[in-house]
């Protein structure tokens, strides 16, 4: 099966510092790929490059066989890539309901949207996602007053409202309770049936539970890739990442 | 929960009452001078509305709304001026004084009332679309955009002042007779003129309100909150910003046309920085997040200026400035927020079962 997302020899330098160095990755459709690595390995920067937040200095990114390298953020989002940020980014002045409504971005043309008041299919989808995210009782609250955990759920809900083909999740379980982490794992596994996921996560227990493929990054390049078993057995990975974690 | 202020039905009822009151005015006011003055307040209301739409909902502070207003006003004045030119007297007198012996190209389309009116509306709207498009694509935002609009305004002011042979310079244009539309003369002191302004104000308000309630309005509010985040949802932020800025400019251009119809006069003063700042102050005092609040702010400030301004003369500006500081300090969302918190208190005191059934009433940060 061809990769839904293909990253070829990606590089990004800030001045003289190489943050991403000749990084390549292929994510097969319908799988869940976990991106791990020590702090500063370039995981979030990779997501920034995929979603167009920053432009690469070299290399190519293909999504569904289309070149999306250095395209604008909204063009990439429309192509079918949704993203949850490391620091949860919700629209704090709007209500939870409005946050979810605005994320249902099937129609993005400003002129069409002038004449749209209740997008078709919105209500069903909103109810479904609100239930999934456990926010049904909070729909009319301002998003700014939610707790950290609820904010995480809201942003996950927003990404799901977008119905993307590829979901990028940057540290989705930070600040969640054990029960919520289990629920997240269940949801992610479910999502694999209809979408492809890249999850950046530090919690190896969580990674062990959900990952089909684990990609380890170190100093901006690919260190190892494989199943969780293969990766954990890799001495280089133990050296730079896992060993470090156990020592900590 | 259940704050009447956020109830959509209640909002539309408030709009209905507001315009019903405005509609009664010409039936009760006999003084034609007063009626004309009230009609000009309607024009200021339209300007405050346009600022509220752009700044309150879109989060785009525009200190140069005088551009759209002024260009619309000049277009209208040129149309009216040409209406009073005849075959034997084809050139406006001020041009003769500036030793022009033929009508310049710029003026020729205004010989036709229809073309002139279309241009008076289309030129400022097109300007907003192009200028806004360039700025927003380059991701110029916040105070930087405000400064750009201010600079643009000053540029237009200078050009109009400087090109005396074409614009009448500092004297501006004073079309000698009232506006003729389809053979009917609209006397600026007649109820007809009032009704024209009333209809445009009501039309613009209803359209603006519908825009804020549409999916477009929701995206715009999301952009005001966090433009960076909205991009990752697939919306072109620049596109939305350009459209809301252009619609706001269109309303201001219509206001400019109405204004000249009422006062038969336009000069560079309409593109003066202080006038554009007044528009922002009206919206800020009335409540920029509320369309109706902003219109009310314009009525309040301009009304006070007409009646207290004469009494206090120069001190009036000090009073206005002091009032502005008070509002910004204690009511950052303007007088409308006073009503919002008042109705909010009422709702919490009496948690009625009606509030339950009103699940759709969302605390829109707008209105």
Q: What is the pLDDT of residues A206-215, one digit of tens each?
A: 999 999 999 9
A134: Cβ–Cβ under 8 A, 6 or more apart, which residues? A150, A153
Q: Is residue B206 part of a domain?
A: yes
Is some CB atom of chain B closer than 8 A to the CB atom of A82? yes
Q: What is the pLDDT of residues B94-129, one digit of tens each?
A: 998 888 888 999 999 999 999 999 999 999 999 999
Angle formed at CA B65 by CA B94 and CA B188, multiple of 5 degrees = 55
Could you write out the three-class secondary structure of chain B?
Answer: CCCHHHCHHHHHHHHHHHHHHHHHHHHHCCCHHHHHHHHHHHHHHHHHHHHHHHHHHCCCCCCCHHHHHHHHHHHHHHHHHHHCCCCCCCCCHHHHHCCCCCCCHHHHHHHCHHHHHHHHHHHHHHHHHHHHHHHHHCCCCHHHHHHHHHHHHHHHHHHHHHCHHHHCHHHCECCCCCEEECCEEECCCCHHHHHHHHHHHHHHHHHHHHHHHCHHHHHHHHHHHHHHHHHCCCCCHHHHHHHHHHHHHHHHHHHHHHHHHHHCCECHHHHCHHHHHHHHHHHHHHCCCCHHHHHHHHHHHHHHHHHHHHHHCCHHHHHHHHHHHHHHHHCCCHHHHHHHHHHHHHHHHCCCHHHHHCCCCCCCCCC
Encoded tokens for A194: 């209809």
If contacts are CB pairs under 8 Å, which of residues 268-287 in chain B contact chain A?
none
Nearest Cα residue in chain B from A51: B232
Q: What are phi and psi of B333, to 5 degrees?
A: -100, 20
Contact B50, B245 (CB under 8 A): no
Residue B222: pLDDT over 90 = yes
**C-alpha to C-alpha distance for B96 and B89, rounded to whole angstroms:** 11
Mean pLDDT for B20-40 is 92
- Determine the pLDDT at residue B352: 47
Complex prediction ipTM: 0.91
Q: Which residues of chain A are within 8 Å of residue B365 when distances are taken between CB atoms?
A: 93-94
Q: What is the pLDDT of residue A245?
A: 54
Q: What is the DSSP letter of A240?
A: I
Q: Please give the average per-residue pLDDT across A19-30, as a whole number.
A: 92
d(CA B210, nearest CA chain A) in Å = 8
pLDDT at B314: 77
Answer yes or no: is pLDDT of A159 > 50.
yes
A180's tokens: 């919520």
A92: burial class by Cβ within 10 Å (0-12, 13-18, 19+)? middle
Distance from CA of A244 to the nearest CA of B (A): 34
Q: Which residues contact A247 (CB under 8 A, 6 or more apart)?
A: none
A240, two tokens: 């730079």
Per the domain annotation, does B363 fall within a domain? no
Residue B265 counted as domain residue: yes
Determine the pLDDT at residue B357: 39
Which residues lie below 8 Å from residue B246, measured CB to CB, with a gap of 6+?
B125, B128, B129, B132
On average, the pLDDT of chain B sits at 90
CB atoms within 10 A of CB A23: 23
Residue B65: per-residue pLDDT: 97
Asked whether residue B109 is assigned to any structural domain, the reply reads yes
DSSP state of A142: B
Q: Is residue B364 part of a domain?
A: no
Kindly report each contact of residues A230-237 with a partner whose C-beta sits within 8 Å and lies 24 or more positions away, as own/partner: none
Q: How far apart are CA B120 and CA B79, in angstroms?
A: 8
Residue B366, in any domain of the structure: no
What residues in A contact B235, CB-CB < 8 Å? 74, 105, 108
- Cβ of A95 and B363 within 8 Å? yes
Measured distance CA(B209)–CA(B191) in Å, rounded: 26
Dist. CA B298–CA B47, nearest whole Å: 8
Q: Indicate yes or no: CB of A119 within 8 angstroms of CB of B215.
A: yes
Give the pLDDT score at B318. 85
Number of domains forming the structure of chain B:
1
Picking from B214, B221, B229 by the largest number of A CB atoms within 10 A of its own CB, the best residue to mutate is B229
Beta carbons of A73 and B231 less than 8 Å apart:
yes
Whether the pLDDT of residue A111 is over 80: the answer is yes
Interface of B with A in 189-228 (CB under 8 A): 211, 213-216, 218-219, 221-222, 224-226, 228
**Residue predicted with more confidence, B52 or A119:** B52
* Segment B232-267, tens digit of pLDDT: 999 999 999 999 999 999 999 999 999 999 999 999
- Chain A residue numbers with beta carbons less than 8 Å from the beta carbon of B243 are 110-111, 114
Range of the domain at B283: 4-357
- Which residues 26-65 on chain A approach chain B with CB closer than 8 angstroms? 51, 53
Phi, psi of A23 (to 5 degrees): -95, 130
A74 and B231 in contact by Cβ < 8 A? Answer: yes
Closest Cβ opposite residue B234 in set A95, A115, A162: A162
Other beta carbons within 10 Å of B134: 13
User: What is the pLDDT confidence band of residue A39, given thresholds at 50, 70 and 90?
Assistant: confident
Q: Which residues of B touch A142 (CB under 8 A)?
A: 363
A6 — pLDDT class (breaks 50, 70, 90): very high
Q: With bands split at pLDDT 50, 70 and 90, how would you rate the model's confidence at B350?
A: low
What was the pLDDT predicted at A1? Answer: 54
> Is residue A55 packed enough to be buried (19+ CB in 10 Å), middle (13-18) or exposed (0-12)?
exposed
Domain-embedded: residue B362: no
| Residue A94 touches chain B, beta carbons under 8 Å | yes
Q: Using one digit for the tens of pLDDT, what is the confidence trace for B65-92?
A: 999 999 999 999 999 999 998 888 888 9
pLDDT of residue B97: 87
Find the closest chain B residue to A88 by CA distance. Answer: B229
- With contacts defined as CB-CB under 8 Å, which chain B residues touch A119? 215
pLDDT number for residue B353: 44
Give the pLDDT band of residue B351 (cuts 50, 70, 90).
low
Q: Which domains does chain A have, with CATH numbers?
A: 3-90+165-247 (3.40.50.300)
d(C-alpha A172, C-alpha A186), whole Å: 13
pLDDT at residue A8 tops 70:
yes
* pLDDT for residue B355: 40
Give the minimum alpha-carbon distance from A231 to chain B in angstroms, rounded to a whole number: 32
CB contact under 8 A, A110 and B216: yes
Distance CA B307, CA A167 (A): 62
**A16-20, A105-109, B233-237, B358-362: range with lowest mean pLDDT:** B358-362
Strand-pair partners of A83: A168
B113 located within any domain: yes
Predicted confidence band of residue B358 (pLDDT cuts 50, 70, 90)? very low
Encoded tokens for B189: 């002191």
**Is the pLDDT score of B365 beyond 50?**
no
CA B185 → CA A121, A212, B84, B295, B351, distances in Å?
Answer: 52, 78, 12, 28, 56
**Do the Cβ atoms of A62 and A6 come closer than 8 Å?**
yes
Q: Indicate the pairing of strand A81-84 with strand A166-170.
A: parallel
Compute the count of residue pairs across chains A and B with CB atoms less than 8 Å apart: 95
Mean pLDDT of chain A: 90
Give the separation between CA B69 and CA B64, rounded to whole angstroms.
9
Interface of B with A in 346-365 (CB under 8 A): 359, 362-365
Q: Residue for token digits 């502070």?
A: B61
């Amino acid at each position: 099966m061809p990769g839904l997302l293909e990253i070829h020899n990606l590089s990004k330098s800030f001045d003289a510092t190489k943050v991403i160095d000749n990084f390549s990755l292929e994510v097969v459709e319908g799988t869940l790929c976990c991106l791990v690595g020590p702090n500063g390995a370039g995981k979030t920067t990779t997501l920034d490059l995929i979603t167009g937040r920053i432009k690469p200095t070299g290399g190519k990114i293909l999504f569904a066989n289309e070149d999306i390298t250095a395209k604008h953020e909204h063009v990439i989002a429309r192509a079918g890539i949704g993203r949850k940020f490391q620091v949860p980014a919700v629209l704090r002045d709007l209500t939870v309901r409005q946050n979810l409504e605005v994320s249902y971005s099937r129609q993005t043309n400003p002129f069409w949207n002038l004449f749209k008041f209740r997008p078709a299919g919105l209500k069903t989808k909103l109810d479904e996602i609100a239930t999934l995210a456990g926010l049904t009782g909070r729909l009319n609250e301002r998003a700014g007053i939610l707790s950290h955990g609820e904010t995480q759920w809201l942003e996950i809900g927003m990404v799901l409202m977008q119905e993307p083909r590829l979901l990028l999740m940057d540290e989705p379980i930070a600040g969640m309770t054990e029960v919520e982490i289990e629920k997240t794992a269940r949801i992610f596994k479910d999502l694999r049936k209809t979408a492809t996921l890249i999850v950046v996560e530090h919690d190896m227990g969580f990674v062990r539970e959900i990952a089909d493929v684990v990609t380890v990054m170190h100093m901006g390049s690919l260190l190892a890739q494989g199943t969780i078993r293969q990766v954990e057995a890799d001495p280089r990975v133990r050296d730079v990442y896992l060993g470090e974690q156990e020592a900590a | 929960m259940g704050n009447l202020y956020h109830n959509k039905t209640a909002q539309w009822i408030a709009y209905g009452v507001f315009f019903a009151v405005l509609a009664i005015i010409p039936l009760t006011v006999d003084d034609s001078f007063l009626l004309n003055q009230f009609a000009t307040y309607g024009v200021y209301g339209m300007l405050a509305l346009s600022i509220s739409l752009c700044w309150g909902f879109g989060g785009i502070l525009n200190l140069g709304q005088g551009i759209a207003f002024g260009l619309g006003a000049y277009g209208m004045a040129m149309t009216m001026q040409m209406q009073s030119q005849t075959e034997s007297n084809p050139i406006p007198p001020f041009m003769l004084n500036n030793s022009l012996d033929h009508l310049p190209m710029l003026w020729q389309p205004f010989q036709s009332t229809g073309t002139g009116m279309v241009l008076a509306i289309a030129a400022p709207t097109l300007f907003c679309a192009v200028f806004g498009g360039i700025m927003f694509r380059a991701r110029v935002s916040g105070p930087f955009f405000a400064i750009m609009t201010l600079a643009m305004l000053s540029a237009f002011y200078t050009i109009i002042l400087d090109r005396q042979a074409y614009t009448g310079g500092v004297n501006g244009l004073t079309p000698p007779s009232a506006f003729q539309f389809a053979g009917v003369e609209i006397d600026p002191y007649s109820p007809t003129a009032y009704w024209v302004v009333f209809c445009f104000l009501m039309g613009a308000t209803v359209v603006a309100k519908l825009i804020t309630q549409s999916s477009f309005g929701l995206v715009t509010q999301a952009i005001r909150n966090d433009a960076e985040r909205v991009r990752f949802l697939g919306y072109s932020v620049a596109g939305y910003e350009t459209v809301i800025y252009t619609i706001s400019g269109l309303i201001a251009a219509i206001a400019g046309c109405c204004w000249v119809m009422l006062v038969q006069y336009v000069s560079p003063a309409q593109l003066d920085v202080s006038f554009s700042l007044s528009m922002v102050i009206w919206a800020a005092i009335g409540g920029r997040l509320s369309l109706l609040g902003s219109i009310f702010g314009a009525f309040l400030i301009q009304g006070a200026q007409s009646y207290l301004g004469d009494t206090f003369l120069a001190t009036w500006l000090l009073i206005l400035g002091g009032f502005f500081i008070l509002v910004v300090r204690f009511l950052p969302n303007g007088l409308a927020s006073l009503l919002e918190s008042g109705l909010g208190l009422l709702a919490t005191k009496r948690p009625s079962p009606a509030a339950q059934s009103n699940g759709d009433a969302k605390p829109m940060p707008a209105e």
